[in-house]
Chains A and B, each alone.
Chain A
Amino acid sequence: MNVVATRNFGAPIRRNEDARLLSGQALFVDDVELPGMLHAAFLRSNLAHARIRTIDVSAARAREGIVAVYTAEDLGDYWAPGPLLVPPPPIADTVFHPRTQVPLAKDKVRHVGEPLAVVLAQSRYLAEDALSDIAVELEPLPAVVDLEKAQTETAARVHDDVRGNVAARVRQNRGDYAAARARATHVVARRFHYDHGASSPIETRGVVANWDARADHLTIWDTTQAPVFLRNGLAGMLGLSERQVRVIAPFVGGGFGPKIMLFYPEEVVIPWAARKLNRPVKWIEDRLEHFFATTQERGQTHDAEIALAADGRILGVKDVFLHDTGAYNPYGLTVPINSQCTLLGPYVIPNYDSTFTAIFTNKPIVTPYRGAGRQHGVFVIERLLDIAAHELKIDRTEIRRRNLISPDAFPYNNEIIYQDFAPLSYDSGNYEPILDKALEMIGYDRFLAEEQPRLRAQGRHVGVGVACYVEGTGIGPYEGAKVQVQANGKVSVATGIGTQGQGHFTVFAQIVADQLGVEVRDVDVVTGDTDQFYWGAGTFASRGAVVAGNAVNEAAKVVRQKILKLAAEHFECAEEDLEIADGQVSVVGIPGQAVKLGALALKANPMRGAVRPGTEPGLESTQYFGPPGGATASGVHAMIVEVDPQTFTLEVLKYVVVHDCGTVINPLILAGQIHGGVAQGIGNAFYEQLVFDEEGQLLNASLADYLLPTALDVPHMEIAHTVTASPLNPLGIKGAGEAGAIPVGPVFAQAIEDALGLLERKIELNEIPLSPGRLFELTAKLR
């Protein structure tokens, strides 16, 4: 019998990559040092909307230490708007006007920070000096900032040929909402504002390009989450073959979404400059630039209503919302589609009518950031249910319970189209036990019946919040992996996605270690190097473990078969009599009859002699995995918070997450993903906000004023899991990367309302972010 032992899969294995990271020996993009390397700095627009009259770089070029200064003109034919990365999903009657970013601005600038020129110098210090030498004449235009005003006939146009600044309009429909509303006992209609922010990884973006003219080869180090597509696109743009370009995403200091945006201006300009100057070129984004030059998420305004029966059952939901897409929309409609789809949540919503209009604004580009628009949709449905519960005098967790999709209803087809262009179908799930577990862990009933009144009598204002959500994860198109047993007995794994802290070097090793009977630490995983693996879409949408993980598994399975076949020939026995463990193959029941994997690998690659036709050398396999659709993870968050009724500062007393992401590969890594997601969710709910003024100027472009939560702002969290394996992949796993960040907004709103008794006093918190100052304003009528 040669059963695959699951020793490592599911175990909290320590990470392979940590020793290097902990001792400061891991390569990040800014660590790349090349002889003769030049440093780039970009001159960026200080106006949100303007026509470019002139740019005079002559003084900058003349400065000592400056090697070159380029504008859009200098790029010649190379200058072109970037490709549309994600076309709109196939939804009938969609209006879509793609407008993509350019390498250096020509004619117009459309957001603060848009690059106008690039300086190449001997140091970043000198390059920044030269920026002030560049004379730019900009003719200011009115800035498009407000989503509603943007659509008026007299509003300025971000793109001269796009009327009303309408980047897109999409309507998705299920059933007949009007009919549902007509027979509803109760309707709740509200306006909601949800603002999400800047991903702010501690490592900003960066690009190093090294053109070797003699080898005719370009190497690019980039903090990208999508090295393969970056390689393909840049090769095409530069007139090179893909083979001539190597993109390496080394260790990357946090991705969270915006690092998968492709063909950023800097990514397009720096390699071109390296080739033109025949010198390596480095550009590292500084923190100030990050607020403009890297994509972010921002706000939506929803006018939503829910139609209910008397017992709180949902008859239908209608939602009309505006989405701020920024100055360009290269990423298509992913974010608002996610909002639209994820609003449905774990609930039966038989009739759904959702329309969004994406608006161009004179602000930085919006592309997915952890949650990718799901937060916005989840906030709307959770708040509608909270208000409905209050008005119908039903407990807010009970109203949710009554609407949960039943466990025997899977696969559950929501009949609208998701971001992967496939119908939104939930593969598996069991939602009620998750809610039960969360309520048990937070002590919901006891809190409301006993603790809250007791503390209230002491003058303390404590409240509980509970929110449910689902998350579509693990979408296609596909990923691939190559697994190879080396002559030294260690196993190498390569895959095309990148890693930004998710532990791929370990979780993929765990999968292989079980299949091939080796130690996790003896499996060496490479990600993010296009020379090591040619194909792949990238790390995004909580899909790495699901899609690449399954590809790794498929490849490891094939290698396992090859091992068994070769060993069976070697021992002249049947494959069933063999066992793989501890890095060797042995014959069951016959001690001493064992061959090391490394020896088998050598045997599989003879230097001389003839092989049978169809033989592949080595113990190696490359396999691909593409799921038919996304796997739906789900969860419930619950929180107890204390609010100071005078200062409106708060303290989270307890935070609980119950999460279902199917089969778990490494519970320690999974917990880390959830903790990190919740921390970002807390930032989103109560601390972070990009504050733009009417001129499109960002007023808080620094970490002193864009407030990331610290260790004193993020509570200890208790996490529990349930498992409904995904039927869509052999490992049964679902993605988990974004889950923590998704429902935190409504949890905060509900808990704060509860702590301050706001609903009873007719005050609702229908916006995110909140803050002490905002709570003060919203409760004005109480004073």
Chain B
Amino acid sequence: MKPAPFRYVAARTIEQALQLKAEYGDEARFLAGGQSLVPTMNFRLTQPAMLIDINPLAELTGVKNCAGDRVRIGALTRYRNLERDPATARNLPLIYEALPHIAHPQIRNRGTIGGNLAHADPASEMPAIVVALAGRLRAQSKKGERWIDAADFFVGALSTALEPDEMLLEVELPTAPARSGACFMEVSRRRGDFAIIGVAATVRLDGEGRCAEARIGLCNAGDVPVLAAEASESLAGRKIGALEIKQAAALVQGAIDPGGSIHASKEFQRHIASVLTARAVAAAVQRAEQAA
């Protein structure tokens, strides 16, 4: 399965990359890790006329700490580097727990966080995590740059709010606050496969051990990552015990609209969504209590 012909340019600067993207619009694709894009090109499902290789743009890699307990991760940061960075487990425990589920080590050696997010596969783990963490994403084009909230970034299956001339530069996420716990869980057919359902849960406790804030995100629960707002809010202000967890797990149903696939029926996805929500929230609470 060989790709259709295309023009290839190894971008030397961000400006050059953006210039080309502005010229070609949707006829050009950025080549980052290529782990999602190139298979579709080999199957000839995608046939871009121009491939703009942004791998040479070293300034797009790396994790920077920012004010307000936030980190900014360059779009071209390889998943494997995030795995290896000791700060990931500390600052971004959801990502750290999700990484072993994202494909396989060889894929993670090339795959980038920006590429994964821009690809916007609803079954992908990272979009759900970014939504659960209420992150924001910085995009740039020839015309300028802007920040897009995670909630607005994913607009449909394989579709983002990025304009045809925009490139994703970095994603900004909050680091894990004090007295908080997080848990990422998924059910998949084999390790590394796309999730049948994945749940990303964070819980922050107040001084009295009650939940100050909870956020529950799900992947493969609809065309876009789902933030189960009602379920999340149902936990706020309460001491989270078995009953609260059960209620949250049930409320998740109202937020999701899984499409089903040959690997799992919609009914099974719904079932797993509640099962994993219960488990992930319970684990997040336990970890928050340990951290407190």
Contacts and interface: CB of A to CB of B under 8 A. Distances in A.
Given A129-B4, A705-B262, A772 B190 contact: no
Interface string A91-130: 0000000000000000000000000000000001100110
A458 interface: no
B78 to A, nearest CB: 21
A646 B275 contact: yes
Interface stretch (B13-21, B137-145, B205-213, B266-274): B266-274
B265 A777 contact: yes
B207 to A, nearest CB: 34
Interface string B180-197: 000000010111110010
A647 B263 contact: no
A211 interface: no
Given A691-B262, A773-B263, A777-B265, A647 B191 contact: no
Contacts of A646: 271, 275
Interface string A690-721: 01000000011010110101101100000000
B187 A712 contact: no
Contacts of B44: 128
A773 B1 contact: no
Contacts of A287: 1
Given A287-B1, A772-B268, A776-B271, A700 B262 contact: yes
Given A691-B262, A772-B268, A773-B263, A124 B2 contact: yes
A310 interface: no
8 contacts: A128-B1, A288-B43, A647-B187, A704-B193, A705-B262, A773-B265, A773-B268, A777-B267
A593 interface: no
Contact of A707 (B4, B5, B193, B272): B193
A418 interface: no
A128 B47 CA distance: 13
Given A128-B2, A705-B262, A776 B189 contact: no
Interface in B165-220: 187, 189-193, 196
Given A646-B271, A776-B265, 14 more contacts: A128-B44, A647-B187, A647-B275, A704-B193, A707-B189, A710-B192, A712-B191, A771-B189, A771-B263, A773-B196, A773-B264, A776-B271, A777-B265, A777-B267
A649 interface: yes
A74 interface: no
For chain A, the bracket of interface size reads 20 to 34
B264 A707 contact: no
Interface string A250-261: 000000000000
Interface of B: 1-5, 39, 43-44, 187, 189-193, 196, 262-265, 267-268, 271-272, 275-276
A707 B261 CA distance: 14
B263 A705 contact: yes
A699 B262 contact: yes
A687 B189 contact: yes
Contacts of A288: 1, 43
A705 B193 CA distance: 9
Most chain A CB neighbours (cut-off 10 Å) among B187, B196, B276: B187
A563 B97 CA distance: 68
A699 B261 CA distance: 10
Scoring B2, B190, B191, B265 by chain A CB atoms within 10 A of each residue's CB, the highest score goes to: B2
Interface string A385-429: 000000000000000000000000000000000000000000000
A687 B265 CA distance: 16
A56 interface: no
Interface of A: 124-125, 128-129, 286-288, 646-647, 649, 687, 691, 699-700, 702, 704-705, 707, 709-710, 712-713, 771-773, 776-777
B264 to A, nearest CB: 5
Contacts of B39: 704
A713 B268 contact: no
A129 B44 CA distance: 10
Given A286-B1, A287-B1, A646-B275, A707 B190 contact: yes
A772 B191 contact: no
A122 to B, nearest CB: 13
Contacts of A772: 187, 189, 196, 264, 268
A128 B5 CA distance: 11
A712 B104 CA distance: 12
Contacts of A700: 262
Contact of A709 (B190, B192, B264): B190
Contacts of A649: 187
A702 B264 CA distance: 17
A297 B264 CA distance: 23
B190 A713 contact: yes
B205 to A, nearest CB: 26
Nearest to A699: B262
A286 to B, nearest CB: 5
Contacts of B275: 646-647
A687 B190 contact: yes
A126 to B, nearest CB: 9
Contacts of B271: 646, 776
B190 A776 contact: no
Contacts of A702: 43
A699 B192 CA distance: 20
